């Protein structure tokens, strides 16, 4: 009987370790008001996801139809198609993968390319509301912002 308890305890420790290890790989974002995210981003758009094209093992190109531009109007036009590079996989904070769905995106410019991730995604309605508020940094609600 004692040997059975040791085996059960050992299996439990291993399973607990696997569960905790999976959690350590999860995407982690800190809450940030949409107004703050808008001020910190190089571009902010509402857009419909058209397609996702893998770019190697760790990255993908997300193609969007731009519906509205809230920031970055000099580089992005409504109605245009925009490619955003992002990590692949939820543990790496990848962009959402539901094609034909609208998203609010806070983007960073990177050498003529746009970069984004899950921590810079908000509903189009919350992005619209943030763009209408004065830039005092105090908006109701929050959006996730990636932490390092």
pLDDT in tens, 53-96: 999 999 999 999 999 999 998 889 999 999 999 999 889 999 99
More confidently predicted of 4 and 111? 111
Buried/exposed code over 85-124 (b: 16+ C-beta within 10 A; e: otherwise): bbbbeeeebbbeeeeeebbbbbbeeeeeebbbbbbbbbeb
Q: Where are the domains of the chain?
A: 29-146
Alpha carbons 6 and 71: distance in angstroms, whole number? 60
Mean pLDDT over 98-113 rounds to: 92
Fold of 29-146: OB fold (Dihydrolipoamide Acetyltransferase, E2P) (2.40.50)
Mean pLDDT rounded to a whole number for the chain: 80
């Amino acid at each position: 009987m004692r040997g059975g308890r040791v085996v059960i305890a050992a299996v439990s420790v291993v399973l607990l370790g696997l569960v905790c290890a999976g959690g350590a790989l999860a995407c982690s974002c800190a809450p940030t008001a949409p107004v703050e995210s808008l001020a910190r981003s190089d571009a902010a758009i509402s857009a419909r996801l058209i397609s996702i094209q893998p770019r190697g093992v760790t990255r993908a190109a997300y193609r969007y139809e731009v519906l509205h531009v809230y920031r970055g109007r000099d580089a992005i036009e409504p109605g245009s198609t925009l490619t955003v590079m992002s990590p692949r996989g939820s543990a790496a904070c990848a962009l959402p993968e539901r094609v034909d769905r609208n998203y609010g995106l806070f983007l960073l410019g990177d050498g003529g390319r746009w970069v984004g991730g899950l921590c810079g995604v908000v509903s189009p309605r919350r992005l619209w509301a943030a763009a209408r508020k004065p830039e005092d940094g105090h908006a109701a609600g929050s959006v996730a912002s990636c932490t390092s």
